Amino acid sequence: MTVEERIEQSRTHVFKAVFPNTTNHYDTLFGGTALSLMDEVAFIAATRFSRKRMVTVSSNRIDFTQPIPAGTIIELIGTVGKVGNTSLTVQVDIYIEQMYADTREKAISGEFTFVAIDEHKKPVSVLG
């Protein structure tokens, strides 16, 4: 499989309902919860791409451009970006969907860097 094909087949989509147990006192999704969901989706995409043990080494810029109201549906999409030797980046976008209308808009985007490690926790190639 080519790198481009691995990127396509490892793209990861997760949907969540924004229930009150995930929101803050403004009735919007708590930022820390969003970051946790994003890191998890990025981890899954990185693991499905390389099929190696992956650890987060860095969270790069994260932009929170729209508040995410309680009572909406969110979709997180994780896509592998730059593939290095032992590291790779994953772009994660979160979209808001209204439950009872066909509207959809991007709310958060960010990037995470992962490193592939062996059983001794030493970096290994993400490919092969």
Ligand X SMILES: CC(C)(COP(=O)(O)OP(=O)(O)OC[C@H]1O[C@@H](n2cnc3c(N)ncnc32)[C@H](O)[C@@H]1OP(=O)(O)O)[C@@H](O)C(=O)NCCC(=O)NCCS
CB of residue 85 vs ligand X: minimum separation in angstroms?
4
Q: Give the residues lining the site for ligand X (CB under 6 A).
A: 55-58, 84-87, 113, 115, 117, 121, 123
Nearer to ligand X, 17 or 57 (CB): 57
Nearer to ligand X, 33 or 87 (CB): 87
CB of residue 45 vs ligand X: minimum separation in angstroms?
16
Only one residue has tokens 């729209």, namely 66
**Nearest by Cα to 100 from 44, 31, 17, 26:** 17
Question: Residue 125 CA to chain centroid, in angstroms?
Answer: 21
- Cα-based distances in Å from 6 to 1, 20, 28, 62: 6, 36, 35, 25
Nearer to ligand X, 18 or 88 (CB): 88
